[in-house]
Structure 1
Amino acid sequence: MPVIDQRRVLKTEIPGPRSCALHDRKAAAVAAGVGSTLAVYVSEAGGGILRDVDGNQLIDFGSGIAVTSIGNAAPRVVEAVRDQVAAFTHSCFLVNPYESYVAVAELLNELTPGSGPKRTALFNSGAEAVENAVKIARSATGRQAVIAFEHAYHGRTNLTMALTAKNLPYKEGFGPFAGEVYRMPMAYPYRWPTGPDNCASEAFAQFTSQVHTQVGETNCAAVVVEPIQGEGGFIVPAPGFLANVAEWCRDHGIVFIADEVQTGFCRTGDWFASEHEGIQPDLIATAKGIAGGLPLAAVTGRADLMDSVHAGGLGGTFGGNPLSCVAAIASIETMREQDLAGRARSIEAVMRRRLEAMAATFDTIGDIRGRGAMMAIELVEAGTHNPAAERATRVSAACHQQGLMTLTAGTYGNVLRFLPPLVIGDDLLNEGLDILAAALAVQS
């Protein structure tokens, strides 16, 4: 198969004329609520490069929001999907099952943290996975209340919008939302009122106190948390906070659900971000990087919890589609063969060194955080913690113009997040960081 030359190429302005023409067609045909970060229409992609319809080649620091971790059109995935398409495209596992679904479940039961028997169920999206994890927790415990956190993002279904903290663009005008969802403080070191050293202990004390007084431990079915908060701004909870919450859940018979939709599959330098603090979640929701770009999601967890649901209570027409299943098997094989968890750690070493140098130069960088190939900078007004959302937007736009695909994030819209494919070369990685530094110089 053809391999895209791994170099940045700018043949036109960004976006180019063919992309602009396609964007006009989009405006006439696609619902206005379906936005696009950058109106550059992709024709091919691979490694660390996105090629657009005008022949421009952009360095990819987004990976389709942490999806194409093994690179676009990865050879093993392409071969596996091609063979599966020729065999059969669908039968619905709920009607006529097939081996690849079972094989994915076996792999996830093996790879996810935690000892003892596990089970897996497959779905289509991260939101579906989170919602089904909550269903399983409620079925297993006979309780209703679910605890989520400030700055959380869990999806766009009615229940997962209730779990999500940010109003715009995710929740505005779409209520009322599912009930029995309660929000608690997150241990956000950079913005903790008394400073990062006190963050873990004080946040945990607030968490336990508020659950006790506002909800009641015996009413809680589950706590749902991202080990690193994604859309909220790549917030890494203060060390020890998540482990304390997990232990508290065990003490009270509450299901601890780790939303690893964005953090899973080698992205943070381990197979799963929960492993960084030795946490063994009761249930793990995964999606995004699981299948090399094909839609697939999963809930994996303790067998006693997963088996608590009656037959027919879990599933869906397309959940665990055979094309996605063989893509997931091929993706996991690629991650293992190329040690992409180790590669994520190498990417972090490069990015952290370069970002720290930028922070020493630009006093608008208030915080550098993340793990592995999931890094971010939070931009603030110089000398303060005041969010600089407009500056983040301008810096990202300047990067786009120079052929670097970047994404913003954060509750306050002031975070630049970086999610390069784990197969990106160091030359492209450093070139992208050069572009970022130049954009910060212009916009600071």
Structure 2
Amino acid sequence: MNRISWFLVFLVLPLFADNNPYNPEKKLADMDITLFKPSKPAASFVPAVRTGNLVFLSGHVPRKPEGGYVTGKVGKDLTTAQAKDAARLTAVSLLSSLKNEIGNLQYVKRIVKVTGMVNATPSFTEHSLVINGCSDLLISIFGEKGRHARAAVGMSSLPFNFAVEIEMIVEIGDKNYCALVDAINSSERTQTFISRDQYRHPLETLTFFGIKRSMSVAEVWPGSSAWYMEVLAPYLREEGLYIAAGFDQETKSDFFKKANAKFAEKLKSKPQLFDKVKVSELAAPHKTAIAPAGTLDAILTFRNVHNWMWSKSEQDMFRAFYKALKPGGILGVIEHRAPETTDDIEAKRGYVKESYTLELAKKAGFKFVASSDINNNPKDITTYPTGVWTLPPTLRLKEKDREKYMAIGESDRFTLKFIKPKTAK
């Protein structure tokens, strides 16, 4: 099967349709919504119960920001619009209890089910429109993760004549997911790096690749700034292993010499984060031992395939990945995406065809698992005066058309996941 044919048959999994970084608490702040400390229940129950990865939230009612509650019978004392606003307030009450229970709303993986009860007259029939006040807010805050199963029913009465009462079931991440959230939110990260989360989506990306705290993971060519190392090294520090497979330490290139020196300084700058980082070299074809053969759980590389194409070492690099991974080990590759019709077959502009990367992995022995649109950027047209480096963060043209290129953002990138077959020797 040729390169194009193999490209056409691969499976695409659009797991994350919303390309904004997942951060419900920032979304709340942007919407000027303030959560509150839940009050003690008036009856014999608790606001939330956690069992496994599910949190069951008891029935909550519409608490006003200024104090008091929304009461009255819908269809008599309250209009549908007023009751919908009450349901929205109830969603805020639910989220306040949820945050109090789990600590960080970014731990939420899915709003599973909402059950809404409306205190309504017998002739009232717009219960679903009322509970939309809650549902719409949840979707606004959590995106696709906020879309839920639901029931909306009418009641002849509710306690204390509350207008609505809503209960909710939420799925939260496992310990790996929550630890990854904490690593990404760490105050130890470089502030300018955090600003790039909107383009690089570290939570979604590393979740897609299936990186867990107990894994042995090598990042190939992390670069002198080591953007991903600031997340991966702390995340893997206690239970796993992070290997920085960097440039040739015996290089004659001034560029690589400076990069190696800068990387070494970064390791020394924060021993509390980087003291357990292992450093190796990968400079195919003469240096290919990332780690002892068959010992790594995962290898990740971000925006590097074009570099290897320049030195015509790309196939040797993929073979080195294959050798270092355990059977069943994961290879995650992110690269600037070139149009399949490009005439830049040597990636001189920094963009690489997705089909070519798929072929490199296949020839090395890997099995394709999935592709994700996490790091897609449809604004990137790829034809710039100085290639991909015209865009941020490099901005090679400096102030010339800066606003234009900042509005585009970082490059359009493909995100590919491969596996070394479990039957591999």
TM-score between the two structures when normalised by the length of structure 1: 0.30
* Rg comparison, structure with higher value: 2
| Higher RCO structure (Cα 8 Å, ≥6 apart) | 1
More helix by share: 1
Which one has a larger percent strand, Structure 1 or Structure 2?
2
